[in-house]
Amino acid sequence: MASFTLPGLDDQQADTIRTALQERLEALIDTALTLKHIHWNVTGPTFIGVHEMLDPQVAGVHAMSDTLAERIAALGGSPNGLPGNLVASRSWDDYNVDRAPVPQHLEALDVVYSAVIAGHRAAIETTGELDPITEDILIGQTGDLEQYQWFVRAHLESADGALPTRDADQQAADRAQEVAG
């Protein structure tokens, strides 16, 4: 347990917040690595647009990770972004698409984003009444993640507004809620 926390929070509150943030930190680190993997392995006629769309998302998710890690430290914790910890702690499967066409990667990425966003929303709920500062950080990040997902979905959406991932991303979101809840 930490030897200090931020003013206005007791040790138990801070521990709850640190735990929620550590889970989100792990999800964001994994997401950044997944985004870079897609960036390197996406193929097809629309390759360059997707390839270039992903770099700002990688940078944004890296910045989110840094913000959460620093918040954990400010709360008296020790953020852990080590690969062994990530693999041991995560509750999700590894991204399993290698070199593949744009639609295959974007469909898989849409599902990833659904799960990450659902996890962030669960963390907002967990931290909201304990610490509005942490809640605000998570709300801002969720908005950015939702925008990134919108960019992905714009590539996937049919003329009638249908998404090929509708059922799959709902299952991923439901699973993230079960793990977080």
The CATH code of the domain that includes 109 is 1.20.1260.10
The pLDDT, as a whole number, for residue 72 is 98
Total domains, the chain: 1
Q: What is the pLDDT of residues 31-62, one digit of tens each?
A: 999 999 999 999 999 999 999 999 999 999 99
User: Does 51 fall in a domain?
Assistant: yes
pLDDT along the chain (181 residues), means of 10: 86 97 98 98 96 98 98 97 95 94 96 97 96 98 98 91 76 53 47
- Is 1 part of any domain? no
Domain that holds residue 152: 11-180
Q: Can you spell out the DSSP letters for the chain?
A: --S---TT--HHHHHHHHHHHHHHHHHHHHHHHHHHHHHHHEESTTHHHHHHHHHHHHHHHHHHHHHHHHHHHHTT------HHHHHHH--SPPP---SEEHHHHHHHHHHHHHHHHHHHHHHHHHHHTT-HHHHHHHHHHHHHHHHHHHHHHHHH--TTS--TTHHHHHHHHHHHHHHH-
pLDDT for res 169: 52
Has residue 23 been placed in a domain? Answer: yes
Residue 5 lies in a domain: no
